[in-house]
Amino acid sequence: MYDIIVIGAGVTGSAVARELSRYKYNVLVLEKCSDVGEGTSKANSGIVHAGFDNEPGSVMAKMNVEGNAMMEQLSKDLDFEFKRNGSLVLCFDKNDEHKLNDLLERGKKNGVPGLEILTGSQVRVLEPKVSDKVTAALYAPTGGIVCPFGLTEALAENAADNGVQFKLNTAVKNIVRKEDCYEVTAENCGKQVNLTAKIVINCAGVYADSFHNMVSSNKMTIIPRKGEYCLMDKKVGNTVSHTIFQLPTEYGKGVLVTPTVHGNLLTGPTATDIEDKEGVNTTADGMNELLTKAKLSVPDLPVRQVITSFSGLRAHRPEHDFVIGQPEDAPGFIDVAGMESPGLSSAPAVGKYVAELTGEIMPAEEKEDFIATRKGVPSMANATNEERQKLIESDPSFANVICRCETVTEGEILNSIHRTLGARTLDAVKRRTRAGMGRCQSGFCNPRVVEILARELGVDEGEITKKGHGSEFISGYDKEDL
C-alpha cells in the first residue's frame, strides 16, 4: 500500500509530487503518457502570469500570485529556464481604457506588485513594433516566461531524486473507495495493475472529472478548451521583448504575442470548446484566426517565419476556478482540478498547498536528507566558449553536434537519456535538449536521434517512438514487402 498515489505527471502532479517528497511519505505517481508533462503542460503559452486578471478571492488569484513569486528561486534551485520579462495588456480604443483601470484595481486586490498604466507612446518606446492603434496599456513588471517542459521535468526529476516513484505508460482505469484506503486499477502496456493508497491526489488535467466522478456523487465537469499556437523562428524572436496581451476587442478574446525563454516568438492561443479530450489537432481556421488577431498587436508579425504550430487543451471548468481539496463524500481523495490558465504559473504554490492539505489528513515528518536542488541538461547552445570547452573535455561527445538548428550535441542527448526519469522517446529528448525544436523541425536529426536512443536503450531502431507505443518511426526494412 502506498501512502499517496498522484494521478497525472503534468506540471501540477509533478509540483505536488515534489512538495510531498519533502516528507516521509511513500508516493507513487501514475502517468498514462510515455513521459512527464506530455499533455497540457507541454502545449501552452509558457507564461508566468502576473495574476491581475483573476477574480479577487478566487483560488486562482491566490495561487497565481504566490506561484509567480516562487518561480524565480525555484528556477535557480531546479535549473530550468525562467525570465521575468514583464507583460503588457494592450488597449486599442480610448473608450476601453476604463477596462485597463478595472484590471489594475483587480490586480491590486490580488496583491500583484508594480502595476502601472502606460500611454500609447510609452508602450511604443518599450515595444516599437506594437500597433499605432494602441492607446494605452497595463504594464505588469512581474509577468514572466518559463520553459513549460523544463519546469515540469525539473519538478518531476527532483521528486524522483527524493524517492517518489513514477510509473509512466500507466493509465488509471478505476478508483474504488474502501474503508481506509482507495483501490486504484490501472493499465500498463495492456496489463492490469492493482494498487492501493491511503490518499489519492487527482492531478489528471482534462481527465480530472472522470476520476473525481468515480469517487464522488457531487459530479464535476471538465471541458477541453482547445488553444492553437504558432511558433516562429529564433531569428524573429526579438520582435517583442514583453509578453503582449490584448484587451478583448470586437473580434473577441485576444491572443498573446511573446518571446519564449528559448528565444522564439510565440503567438496564441485560440479558445474553442471541444468534446475530444485528445483533440490536439490544429485547424486552418484556428491558425488564420490567431494570426489575424496577433497582427492587431504587432501589425508586422513575421508570419512567414512560422516553424511549427500546435494546440493544447485547457482543463476548463464552467465555474472557472481551480478546485483543490477533498470532496465532502470522498475523504482522502484530493482534487487538484480545473487547472487551466494560470495553472502553469500557479503550480509551485499549488504543490505547496496540496502538501499542507495532505499533512492535515496524514501528518508526516520532514526528511532530513531532502535534496533541494537539481541540475538540468547542459546546453551547448547557451554555454560560453569556456563552458563549452569544459564540457567537451569532460566528454568529447559534447563536440558532436546532432541537431544543427539548435546546436544540440550527442553529449546533451546522452545526458537526457541517462538521467532521472530519462528520455525514452524522440519527443522526450526534444523537450529535454531542444534537438528537433528548431527551424528544420528534426528533418536532419530525426534519424540520428533515433539511432542514439536505440543504441543507448539497447533496442532496435524500429522500437523507437515519437511519443510512446504506436508512434514508431520505422515500419520495417527495405524490400520487406516485395
Partner 1 sequence: MKTEVAVIGGGPAGLAAAVAARDAGVEDILIIERDNELGGILNQCVHNGFGLHTFKEELTGPEYAGRYIDMVNERKIPYLLKTMVVDISRDKVITVMNREKGLFTIEADAIILAMGCRERSRGALNIPGYRPAGIYSAGTAQRYVNMEGRMPGKEIVILGSGDIGLIMARRMTLEGAKVKVVAELMPYSGGLKRNIVQCLDDFGIPLKLSHTVVDIKGTDRVEGVTIAQVDEKLKPIPGTEEFYSCDTLLLSCGLIPENELSSQAGVALSSVTGGPVVDESLETDIDGIFACGNVLHVHDLVDFVSQEASIAGEKAAEYVKGALAPSGKKISLQGVGGVRYTVPAEIDPERMADKQVVRFRVGKVFKNVKVVTTAGDQVLSSSKKRVMAPGEMEQVVIRKDKLIAAGPVEKIVIAVEDNQTEAKAADKEA
Only one residue has cell 492531478, namely 203
Given the residues 49, 212, 242, 316, select the one marked as catalytic.
49
The C-alpha atoms of residue 54 and residue 249 are separated, in whole angstroms, by 19
Provide DSSP, 158-207: HHHHTT-EEE-SEEEEEEEE-SSSEEEEEEETTEEEEEEEEEEEE--GGG
Q: What is the closest distance, in whole angstroms, from the C-beta atom of residue 472 to partner 1 in the complex? A: 6
Q: Residue count at the site for partner 1 (CB under 8 A)?
A: 58
300 interacts with partner 1 by CB under 8 A:
no
| Cβ proximity of 111 and 142 under 8 Å | no
Q: Which residues pair with 337 in a beta bridge?
A: 323
Q: Interaction with partner 1 in 432-461: which residues (CB under 8 A)?
A: 439-444, 446-447, 451, 461
Q: If binding is defined by CB under 8 A, does position 163 make contact with partner 1? A: no
Give yes or no for residue 217 binding partner 1 (CB under 8 A).
no
CB closer to partner 1, 336 vs 426: 426
- Which grid cell sits at 317? 471548468
Q: Which of 417, 378, 419 is nearest to 399 (CA)?
A: 378
Length of the chain: 482
Segment interacting with partner 1 (CB under 8 A) among 97-105, 201-209, 364-372, 398-406: 398-406
b/e map of 6-33 (b: 16 or more CB within 10 Å)? bbbbbbbbbbbbbbbbbbebbbbbbbbb
Whole-angstrom distance, CA of residue 24 vs CA of residue 363: 9
268 binds partner 1 (CB under 8 A): no
The DSSP call for residue 211 is H
Interaction with partner 1 in 224-243: which residues (CB under 8 A)? Answer: 230-231, 235
**Least Å distance between CB 74 and partner 1?**
29
Residue 482 near partner 1 by CB under 8 A: yes
469 flagged as catalytic: no
| Beta carbons within 10 angstroms of residue 204's beta carbon | 28
Q: Which of 198, 317, 388, 434 binds partner 1 (CB under 8 A)?
A: 388
Residue 399 binds partner 1 (CB under 8 A)? yes
Binding mask 306-325 for partner 1 (x = CB under 8 A): xxxxx---------------
- Which of 95, 385 has the CB closer to partner 1? 385
Give me the residue label for grid cell 499517496. Answer: 4
- Per rule CB under 8 A, is residue 190 in the interface with partner 1? no
Interaction between residue 282 and partner 1 (CB under 8 A): yes
**321/395 with CB nearer partner 1:** 395
> Do the Cβ atoms of 299 and 131 come closer than 8 Å?
yes
Give the catalytic positions in this structure: 49
**Contact residues for partner 1 (CB under 8 A)?**
230-231, 235, 278, 280-284, 286-287, 306-310, 385, 388-389, 392-393, 396-397, 399-401, 404-405, 407, 439-444, 446-447, 451, 461-462, 465-482
